Chain A
């Protein structure tokens, strides 16, 4: 009986601790979302209150949509993120397949070379990247961002995917070979569909830093036409620093897509982490 009681107590304490930390984690997000729907007075008078009919207001969102080209920024972010992820997945899976499937001279060396980028941040090469992009005439284009993010995402993608591809049955691939499939067909038609869960994990891991990055948009593509949401929100906040309605609405707009994606992909993400892909 005594042990049962201590274990109830222990579980209770654990719940208290976890609930407190969950509140700490979510409170700022909650505060932003709630206050973005309130009138200016209500934001200041009762910051913690849920909007009521008398304090409800969309004036912040109106300002954001009128002043900043957020639709354009969203589009830029979306294009950059989707294209980069597609390239990372395709190129990464191809390289991972070559490294995990074939034995050739330099295999290990190539693996190590491609893994370097997991630890060394691409940011340190910014000085020369900017120089190169200027020389190639790619400054203020989305192409520049896509290229940088593809290079940035590849090392981890190759690492994770090659771990997974080692687990694909050799018999299956050899059966394909006997049936006369080319190596390309084996990759695209047999192996790729089997590692789809790993691809989803890589996609989520690749997406978050790209969507949230401020450094490269600020340096490589600060022009109005190529601003990403993150940079657009940063600039907008800088301009409207005293217009709290607008700022809170801009922040909410920037939070929402990430939250939605997270809710959709969170099982995948957690399964990816717990299945040992990144240990």
Chain B
């Protein structure tokens, strides 16, 4: 649109004076962003190559990474956290995104009454802070208060109740599901928006061909919202591999019981700041942050360069 207008001055042979206003418009954002976000990120990556040797900070190459991956004490918690983080992510992909898509599909049914109310209500948990979410669920699932066992008693499932958050086999799944409960609103909203953008003509054409209801969703709508599903997947990935708050508020910095809910974010926090009798370690903190950065970068690149390019986009 603006091409024709802005192209003109460039054809003109007269050399334009330096346009200071562009610099003025860009400078504040550029400076704050660079100083607070990009430089610290680079500095963190750099710090991961240094460590304290006899009180001096010296360049140690990749030694920190070797320590992280193979030192008997640290590597155990690292691989544990990485594995837990993967499970955390898989549960989100298997539960949060399908539920979000299903809710959006139901909300977008035309002329559905109360749709606005449902949409508003289902998005409420997403707005709450982790402190609130973590603690509410801790209370609800606590055997002392008895809300969860009481409710399960109503439906005759009392035998199935267990202090899920306190058992190492079930704690990670429980925390993941709490997180799913909180964040289901985001895929719901994004998919809902994508569904609303499908033109009516396409759906009418499908109806003329006798494709309605379920088969319309699977054959017409789902292929059209695939790009949005790609976006929610990558957002989930970045969010999950950077998560910290919920585990911290529900299970504490030690991510108990017995490290069973430890993910990379809580490991980074403990390693960097120290906790109880463990000393804080800046270099190892930076090393873990670097590993997290590389994981997220790998995921985002995979999405941008492989998945997004192969996805078919439809223009209306």
Q: Does B308 contact A (CB under 8 A)?
A: no
Q: Does B194 contact A (CB under 8 A)?
A: yes
In the complex, what distance in Å separates the CA atom of A122 from the CA atom of B35?
A: 12
Residue A151 contacts which of B33, B114, B273, B286 (CB distance < 8 angstroms)? B33
Across the interface, do B121 and A26 meet the contact criterion of CB distance under 8 Å?
yes
In the complex, what distance in Å separates the CA atom of A11 from the CA atom of B2?
A: 46
Q: Which residues 93-111 of B have a CB within 8 angstroms of A?
A: 99, 102-103, 106-107, 109
Q: Does B77 contact A (CB under 8 A)?
A: no
Q: What residue of chain B has the Cβ atom nearest to residue A277's Cβ?
A: B193
Q: What residue of chain B has the Cβ atom nearest to residue A99's Cβ?
A: B26
In the complex, what distance in Å separates the CA atom of A110 from the CA atom of B23?
A: 12
- Known contacts A14-B106, A211-B129; is-contact A120 B33 (Cβ 8 Å): no
A271 CB, min distance to chain B CBs, angstroms: 10
Q: Does B87 contact A (CB under 8 A)?
A: no
B14 CB, min distance to chain A CBs, angstroms: 16
Across the interface, do A98 and B292 meet the contact criterion of CB distance under 8 Å?
no
Across the interface, do A104 and B19 meet the contact criterion of CB distance under 8 Å?
yes
Q: Which of A53-61, A63-71, A194-202, A258-266 contacts B (4 or more CB under 8 A)?
A: A258-266
Q: What residue of chain B has the Cβ atom nearest to residue A169's Cβ?
A: B1
- Known contacts A25-B181, A47-B150, A274-B196; is-contact A128 B120 (Cβ 8 Å): no
Contacts of B296 in A (CB 8 A): 119-121, 124
Q: Does A127 contact B (CB under 8 A)?
A: yes
A40 CB, min distance to chain B CBs, angstroms: 12
Contacts of A175 in B (CB 8 A): none
Q: Which residues 2-54 of B have a CB within 8 angstroms of A?
A: 2, 5-7, 10, 19, 21-22, 24-26, 28-30, 32-33, 35-44, 47
Across the interface, do A91 and B132 meet the contact criterion of CB distance under 8 Å?
no
B9 CB, min distance to chain A CBs, angstroms: 8
Across the interface, do B127 and A258 meet the contact criterion of CB distance under 8 Å?
yes
- Known contacts A117-B37, A214-B130; is-contact A31 B238 (Cβ 8 Å): no
Contacts of B47 in A (CB 8 A): 127-128
Across the interface, do B131 and A230 meet the contact criterion of CB distance under 8 Å?
yes
Q: What residue of chain B has the Cβ atom nearest to residue A116's Cβ?
A: B38
Q: What residue of chain B has the Cβ atom nearest to residue A114's Cβ?
A: B33
Across the interface, do A170 and B1 meet the contact criterion of CB distance under 8 Å?
yes
Across the interface, do A147 and B103 meet the contact criterion of CB distance under 8 Å?
no
In the complex, what distance in Å separates the CA atom of A32 from the CA atom of B145?
A: 12
In the complex, what distance in Å separates the CA atom of A214 from the CA atom of B245?
A: 7
In the complex, what distance in Å separates the CA atom of A31 from the CA atom of B139?
A: 10
Contacts of A110 in B (CB 8 A): 26, 30
Q: Does A37 contact B (CB under 8 A)?
A: no
Across the interface, do A123 and B242 meet the contact criterion of CB distance under 8 Å?
yes
Q: What residue of chain B has the Cβ atom nearest to residue A183's Cβ?
A: B21
In the complex, what distance in Å separates the CA atom of A211 from the CA atom of B128?
A: 9
In the complex, what distance in Å separates the CA atom of A122 from the CA atom of B41?
A: 8
Q: Does A94 contact B (CB under 8 A)?
A: yes
- Secondary structure dominating the interface of B: helix
Across the interface, do B1 and A166 meet the contact criterion of CB distance under 8 Å?
yes
Contacts of A213 in B (CB 8 A): 245
Contacts of B285 in A (CB 8 A): 127
Residue A28 contacts which of B114, B140, B231 (CB distance < 8 angstroms)? B140
Residue B132 contacts which of A215, A254, A276 (CB distance < 8 angstroms)? A254
Across the interface, do A31 and B136 meet the contact criterion of CB distance under 8 Å?
yes
Residue interface bits B202-243, CB-to-A below 8 A is 1, else 0: 000000000001000000000000011001001000100010
Contacts of A164 in B (CB 8 A): none
Across the interface, do B26 and A125 meet the contact criterion of CB distance under 8 Å?
no
Residue B36 contacts which of A31, A97, A148 (CB distance < 8 angstroms)? A148
Across the interface, do A26 and B26 meet the contact criterion of CB distance under 8 Å?
no
Q: Does A184 contact B (CB under 8 A)?
A: yes
Residue numbers of B with Cβ under 8 A of A are: 1-2, 5-7, 10, 19, 21-22, 24-26, 28-30, 32-33, 35-44, 47, 99, 102-103, 106-107, 109, 112-114, 117-133, 135-137, 139-140, 145-147, 150, 181, 184, 189-190, 192-194, 196-197, 213, 227-228, 231, 234, 238, 242, 244-245, 248-249, 265, 268, 272-273, 282, 285-286, 289-290, 292-293, 296-297, 300
Residue numbers of A with Cβ under 8 A of B are: 10-11, 14-15, 17-19, 21-22, 24-26, 28-29, 31-32, 43-44, 47-48, 87, 90-92, 94-95, 97-104, 110, 113-114, 116-117, 119-129, 131-132, 147-148, 150-152, 154-155, 158, 166, 170, 174, 182-184, 187, 208, 211-215, 219, 230, 233-234, 237, 244, 247-248, 251, 254-255, 258-259, 262, 266, 270, 273-274, 276, 278-279
27 A-B pairs with C-beta separation under 8 A: A11-B109, A18-B103, A18-B106, A25-B125, A25-B184, A26-B121, A26-B124, A29-B136, A31-B136, A44-B146, A48-B150, A103-B7, A119-B300, A120-B300, A125-B37, A125-B40, A125-B289, A126-B289, A151-B32, A214-B249, A237-B131, A251-B131, A266-B120, A270-B120, A279-B227, A279-B228, A279-B231
Which 10 A-B pairs have CB atoms at the shortest separation, nearest pair first? A125-B40, A151-B36, A128-B43, A212-B129, A128-B40, A95-B29, A98-B25, A125-B41, A91-B29, A183-B21
14 further A-B contacts with Cβ under 8 Å, apart from A18-B122, A126-B40, are A18-B114, A21-B103, A29-B136, A31-B147, A47-B145, A48-B147, A99-B26, A124-B242, A125-B289, A127-B282, A129-B36, A183-B21, A233-B129, A279-B227
